[in-house]
Structure 1
Amino acid sequence: MFENNEYPNSKHDIRRENLRADCENCFGLCCVGLNFSASADFAIDKDAGKPCPNLQSDFRCGIYKDLREQGFKGCTVFDCFGAGQKVSQVTFGGVGWREGPETAKKMFDVLPIMQQLHEMLWYLTEALTFRASRSIHREISLALAETERLTQLKPDSLMELDVPSHREGVNNLLLRTSELVRAESRRQLKPSKKSRKVDRRGGDLLGANLRGADLRGADLRGALLIAADLREADIRVTDFIGADLRDADLRGANLTESIFLTQVQINSAKGDAHTKLPQSLTRPNHWCVFEQ
């Protein structure tokens, strides 16, 4: 499946360390620049540009260990793909939003743009790890280099970027990668008696009963899987890009070698010690409450 047997230690995986949130080197941008509304995910309303009342003077969260208990479940799900520290330390050279209103506004405007670019970097980096996509690795590498270049632009240039246009080209490469990888897996894996055809790109699988299903090689891009029952399901080599996994039950499921699965998606789902994840992702601490 992967380019080599040392994938977890490969140069691609090391690159990914820069595509994870590093709150120690960020000015709490997500706690200020983003807005949220009182809901099941957030205990209060907060406007964009207004600091969260839990944000301390050192940019740390005052209730970090108790976010879920205090009604801030959404904070434990969010991940900026490393955009926060990039904006804080590179784009603005370590100058924080407290330095002045003009700096603050630009930082908050740039953050969602940088987050989109970093998300694309995550996907492109993963695309280079698959043997099956070797025929388009050069194109992927060029797209990765161009996306990295864009992340180094000055604030004003970043705000002028046509992100949707760039994303369209990247998405085309990711789709081709997915098709190549899943096609190879179908040639290698024999379908089981539980195999179900769930190539439901963008499909509505809200609350679907897929317990124990064989979903290997399926296309679930953009699928609505909120509260779906995926316990003990075999979801290897399945394309999850853009899929909504909020409260999906992944206890005992096998998601190893899944395609374009992110930490955000895993954080939003339910799982346990028996859930098998790709080596690039981390088991969320809050999953322990779902273990039996």
Structure 2
Amino acid sequence: MSEDRTAAPPAESRPDLRADCSNCFGLCCVALPFAASADFAVGKEAGKPCKNLQADFRCGIHTRLRQEGFQGCTVYDCFGAGQQVSQVTFGGRDWRQAPETSRQMFEVFPVVRQLHELLWYLTEALTLPAARPVHADLRGALDDTERLTRQSADDLAGLDVAAHRGRVNELLLRTSELHRATAGRKAKDHRGADLIGARLRKADLRGANLRGAYLIAADLTGADLRGADLIGADFRDARIGGADLTGSIFLTQAQLNAAKGDAATRLPAALTRPAHWS
């Protein structure tokens, strides 16, 4: 029997797309900048280690991040890019022992992070039966993206990742259209909408397009989001207690971590209920 090249494992079965801090050189704690705000107790420049980063590249306050004012760290996800850059791209040479690698390592990390995020979305897209008409193209994009992650540091630093994202996004848009059509209804289009603080309690958002929507502090209590496209939606402080997110697509753990849910919130199988939810 020939191999089915349209099939793909579900995203939750790919540990390489989940952060493994034990095999990373604390890259998100060094390479990325952040400003003092409600999300970060203090600010720091890109390339400067966070004051909480320990000698073993672990966070010294990992279990107390929210209490210590570093909520922003709890809603960040590298999709496994940290261990990829640390162990594969740079072959296990860390920026402390080989300081000459630091500049390029910190430059490459955000690029690989974007590629790994695309791998997460493409892997999920390949599990959707409604997207079968574009499965072959999705598989090709997945293979191309994985190939890019294995390039040298020099090649990654020079990669036009925005152009690649644009090509992949066209396929993800088509996937979204096919999947949302299964809702069997004319769904609402809220792509990129400003829904900050919106009152959407028990709203019927089945099959809705919420790509890139601003849902900051929105009240989605008890809302029906089955089959909705949630790629890039900003869920910071959104109230989703009792909401049904099963069947929604392109939702990430970081988005859930930024929201306020509860035990009654229904989630896609690939994601877990955040520990800080009541």
* TM-score, normalisation: structure 1: 0.90
More helix by percentage = 1
Letter in 2 for 1:260: F
How far apart are residue 15 of structure 1 and its match?
A: 4.7
How far apart are residue 282 of structure 1 and its match?
A: 1.2
Q: Which residue of 2 aligns with 1:93?
A: 91
Identity in percent: 64
Aligned-partner Cα distance in 2 for 1:12–1:67: 30
Aligned-partner Cα distance in 2 for 1:83–1:167: 16
2:274 pairs, out of 250, 261, 284, with 284
2:58 pairs, out of 51, 57, 60, with 60
Aligned-partner Cα distance in 2 for 1:90–1:15: 20
Consecutive unaligned residues of structure 2, counting only runs of 5 or more, are 1-6
Q: Which residue of 2 aligns with 1:151?
A: 149
Q: Which residue of 2 aligns with 1:261?
A: 251
Q: Secondary structure at the match of 2:102?
A: helix
Letter in 1 for 2:43: D
**Deviation per CA, 1:19-41, whole angstroms, max 9, x where unpaired?**
11110111111111111110000
Structure 1 runs (4+) greater than 4 angstroms displaced: none
Q: Does 1:110 align with 2:108?
A: yes
How far apart are residue 17 of structure 1 and its match?
A: 1.9
What RMSD, in angstroms, separates the aligned Cα atoms of the two structures?
Answer: 1.4
Aligned-partner Cα distance in 1 for 2:131–2:9: 17
Please tell me whether the aligned partners of residues 12 and 270 of structure 2 are also in contact (alpha carbons under 8 angstroms): no
Letter in 1 for 2:135: H
**Deviation per CA, 1:227-284, whole angstroms, max 9, x where unpaired?**
0000011100000111111110011100011011111111111111111110101111
| Alignment of structure 1 residues 1-292 onto 2, 5 Å | 11-13=9-11, 15-186=13-184, 198-287=188-277, 291=278
Q: Secondary structure at the match of 1:170?
A: helix
**Deviation per CA, 1:73-114, whole angstroms, max 9, x where unpaired?**
011111101000000011001110112332011110000000
**Deviation per CA, 1:93-146, whole angstroms, max 9, x where unpaired?**
111011233201111000000000000000000000100010110000000000
Consecutive unaligned residues of structure 1, counting only runs of 5 or more, are 1-6, 192-196
Aligned-partner Cα distance in 2 for 1:50–1:229: 37
Aligned-partner Cα distance in 1 for 2:84–2:249: 25
Aligned-partner Cα distance in 1 for 2:163–2:11: 27
* TM-score, normalisation: structure 2: 0.95
